[in-house]
Amino acid sequence: MDNPGMREITNHRGNRQHSGTYVTGARLSEKDQIRRLVLPGNVVQVCGPPMVGKSVLVDQVVEEIRESNQNLKIFSINCKHINSLQQVLIKVHKTLFEATTTLNPVDLEDTARFVKKLKSVLQVKCCSHHVFVFHKTETLRHAGEDHAFLDFLSRLVRSDCQVHVTGTTAVFTTFQQFPVIGEHVTGVQVGMLTDPLDILTFLQHYAPGSCVRDYVDICQRFLCLPEAVRRLAEEYLSISSQRPPPGNLLSIVCRDKDLLYHIFHKRATEVKSWIGNKRDFDFLTTLVQSSLNVLTEESIREIYQRRNLHQNYEDWSVCYRRLLKKYILLRSPGTHSLSVHPLILYYCNMHGLRPHSSSVNDHSTKSHTQLLCRVLMKTDKAMLSISPRGHVFGCKVKDWPYTKQLMQTAIQDTTGGYKAFLKVAVSAREVIISSCPNGYADCKSSDQHFESALKVLKTNGPTFFYRWAQRKRGITLHRQGYHMKSLQAFKESKMIPAHLAMLPSTDDILSVPDSQADEDLVSAQIHESIPLIFTGENIKARNMLLQLKSSVPDIEHHPDYSILLNSIGLTLERAENKIQEALVWYQKSVIARKPLRAISPEILTIPMVNIGMAFFQTGQFGPIGLKAEWHKQLDYLTVG
């Protein structure tokens, strides 16, 4: 059998792919963190699991900074396999010596002397800011040279009145975390490629002109590494006519040993030194070969304790923290489950220690995370067709960047908690509902979930979320047709004390601005009118709605404004049979919803049905213009 390493990765036409350019539109949050820290006098550690693209990300950021600052000079030093500070100094010496002949050999044993002469070289360069980037420094940490290396970096960036150098920054990348301490020593974490928009950007970059949106989920769950996404896009997605269906792609990738070889083989030799000791390596091979479908801390601890039952091994918590700190075990976003780094799985598979399922890892997230991924991608795509002053999925366009950031934070959250999701549930509720118009189709157990949530929130607060959950319960009940129960839920929400169980104000992630609270109150009043209408209280409902329409500033920009308009029409039709007047309000509701029809056509259904029923009851098709508009929108719903 041929060595799989001898095959070049090609696309289906047999042409080797070349993609040397940076992916500029992805990982914007991490890039922004790094960019803010690349300041004179700072030492920046960029840390994260192997193969997540730390070095590429740093290179991209400093290049972008240099494009806007011509007085910035970059020195890049590759420290891979370097295990002593002396070797680092030799590399630095060679890097500068290639550009100038003013540097004489120095005593490498004297770090202070080396740094002083180094700064004298920098002084003659016509640059105001020097950035030293040290890539792949984990071997120094493993060899115990981390403190000496950090001391060198601190001396390098420190201001020196004797040698005038305007500013120096040191950035280093590693997957073995250094003990970073000090006022100007900071760290940035770069995680696995799990943000769906980032993955989509990578796929579109490496398979340009292709429709790759349906393949994001596969990458997010099984191939959440930049190199893996690149290889996948170039090999299987770059030619539309030969692109496999999304459902078949995973099994194809698992069988493609050449593809996996080219993704992982260069780094496979580092696995044993990365793990660090035979005890952890033996435990990991046992874990990989286990029959567990889902890895959690409890299930992994059970395997560890069972394996070490008769041996005097260290406490499980010590081992667990070490495996997490080394990024050998990874937390899956939005869930309590864990996964083993794909490189370790590949190494085990390569040596006959086969994983229990496949050669790739499953980073599956819980249903609420998957829902947010779908909503995020769908809404972000919709932004392209909405005017800057318009609305998109129940959210003002100008507010979308903030809402998008909240959703991305929740999707990538690895704490296993729900604070970030709770924030999204409130701030992006209309976005989620508008993106999933059929989300209330199966709500038999929803009331049980509300009971459970309300019980916890009543004890732990904060007040806004407790009242918000009670109101959402009322909305869900009226959408299920339980109108009397819905009215009772809205009534109970009004009886909640103003300062019940407030959490400390320092918990910023749960803080809600007054504007958000005001908007939610208006939403509750609009939705409370619906069960009033369906229980015969039409006049009361109309007065409530008209009062809102006349008294709430900028009510036309509220996410539920179209519901208000439609409900006013219902009160006119049901209470006084004023069908012609009701038609005007239904038409206004359709107009308010039209900006969203290209994304979610179902949003037009309710007012269109009301218009159609009004036509049927009157035996005529109303005003000519409204008739034409109704047919136009009906054609859009049924055809377009």
CB atoms within 10 A of CB 29: 15
CB atoms within 10 A of CB 26: 24
- Residue of higher predicted confidence among 504 and 361: 361
Q: What is the CA radius of gyration of the chain?
A: 30
* C-alpha to C-alpha distance for 273 and 222, rounded to whole angstroms: 24
pLDDT at 442: 47
Angle, nearest 10°, between helix axes 605-618 and 579-593?
160
Which option is the CATH number for 28-189: 2.60.40.420, 3.40.50.740, 3.20.20.70, 3.40.50.300?
3.40.50.300
Count helices and strands in the chain by DSSP H and E runs: 29, 9
Whether the pLDDT of residue 543 is over 80: the answer is yes
Whether the pLDDT of residue 46 is over 90: the answer is yes
Beta bridge partners of 77: 134
Contacts of 539 (CB under 8 A, 6+ apart): 571, 575
* C-alpha to C-alpha distance for 507 and 549, rounded to whole angstroms: 35
Grade residue 352 by pLDDT with cuts at 50, 70 and 90. confident
Grade residue 42 by pLDDT with cuts at 50, 70 and 90. very high
> Residue 72: left (phi > 0), alpha (psi -120 to 50), or beta?
beta
Grade residue 516 by pLDDT with cuts at 50, 70 and 90. confident
* C-alpha to C-alpha distance for 573 and 96, rounded to whole angstroms: 82
Instruction: Show the tokens assigned to 33.
Output: 């963190």
Whether the pLDDT of residue 601 is over 60: the answer is yes
- Mark 205-239 as b/e (b = at least 16 C-beta within 10 Å): bbbeebebbebbbbbbbbbbbbbbbbbbbbbbbbe
Instruction: Show the tokens assigned to 449.
Output: 């979930």
* C-alpha to C-alpha distance for 626 and 635, rounded to whole angstroms: 14
DSSP 8-state class, residue 113: H
Whether the pLDDT of residue 493 is over 60: the answer is yes
pLDDT at 597: 66
Mean pLDDT for the chain overall = 78
Contacts of 370 (CB under 8 A, 6+ apart): 217
pLDDT at 98: 62
Type and span of the H or E element at 469: helix 463-480
Residues 31 and 25 sit within 8 Å (Cβ to Cβ) = no
Amino acid at 255: R
Which residue, among 424, 441, 416, has the nearest Cα to 372 in the 3D structure?
A: 424
pLDDT at 11: 39
User: Which whole number is the average pLDDT over 174-191?
Assistant: 85
DSSP 8-state class, residue 233: I
DSSP 8-state class, residue 492: H
For residue 16, report the phi and psi dihedrals to the nearest 5 degrees: -70, 140
pLDDT at 539: 92
The tally of CA atoms less than 13 A away on the side-chain side of residue 414 is 18
C-alpha distance from residue 211 to each of 29, 156, 334, 463, 493 (Å): 25, 48, 27, 45, 46
Beta bridge partners of 93: none
Topology of domain 363-634 in CATH is 1.25.40
User: Which whole number is the average pLDDT over 621-640?
Assistant: 54
Type and span of the H or E element at 324: helix 316-325
pLDDT at 208: 87
CB atoms within 10 A of CB 605: 14
In the numeric block, the tokens 């950021």 are attached to 61
Whether the pLDDT of residue 144 is over 50: the answer is yes
pLDDT at 17: 40
* C-alpha to C-alpha distance for 436 and 233, rounded to whole angstroms: 29
Grade residue 367 by pLDDT with cuts at 50, 70 and 90. low
Grade residue 441 by pLDDT with cuts at 50, 70 and 90. very low
Whether the pLDDT of residue 288 is over 70: the answer is yes
DSSP string, 80-91: TT--SHHHHHHH
Range from 233-242, 362-371, 563-572 carrying the lowest mean pLDDT: 362-371
Looking at domain 264-352, its CATH architecture is Orthogonal Bundle (1.10)
C-alpha distance from residue 505 to each of 222, 415, 462 (Å): 39, 21, 10
- Strand (E) positions, 117-160? 129-135
CA dihedral 228, 234, 239, 244 (to 10 degrees): -20
Contacts of 361 (CB under 8 A, 6+ apart): 222, 339, 340, 341, 342, 345, 355
DSSP 8-state class, residue 558: S
Whether the pLDDT of residue 18 is over 70: the answer is no
pLDDT at 407: 78
What is the model's pTM?
A: 0.65
User: Which whole number is the average pLDDT over 296-313?
Assistant: 76
pLDDT digits (tens, 9 = 90+) for 48-62: 999 999 999 999 999
The number of residues in the chain equals: 640
Which residue, among 493, 491, 450, 451, has the nearest Cα to 468 in the 3D structure?
A: 493
The SS3 assignment for 331 reads strand
* C-alpha to C-alpha distance for 342 and 333, rounded to whole angstroms: 16
Beta bridge partners of 149: none
* C-alpha to C-alpha distance for 268 and 264, rounded to whole angstroms: 6
pLDDT digits (tens, 9 = 90+) for 368-383: 666 777 777 777 776 6
User: Which whole number is the average pLDDT over 454-476?
Assistant: 80
DSSP string, 566-612: HHHHHHHHHHH--HHHHHHHHHHHHHHHGGGTTT-GGGGHHHHHHHH
- Residue of higher predicted confidence among 180 and 387: 180
Beta bridge partners of 186: 44
Grade residue 338 by pLDDT with cuts at 50, 70 and 90. confident
* C-alpha to C-alpha distance for 332 and 76, rounded to whole angstroms: 33
Is the bond leading into 559 cis (omega within 30 degrees of zero)? no
What is the residue extent of each domain of the chain? 28-189, 196-255, 264-352, 363-634
pLDDT at 349: 83
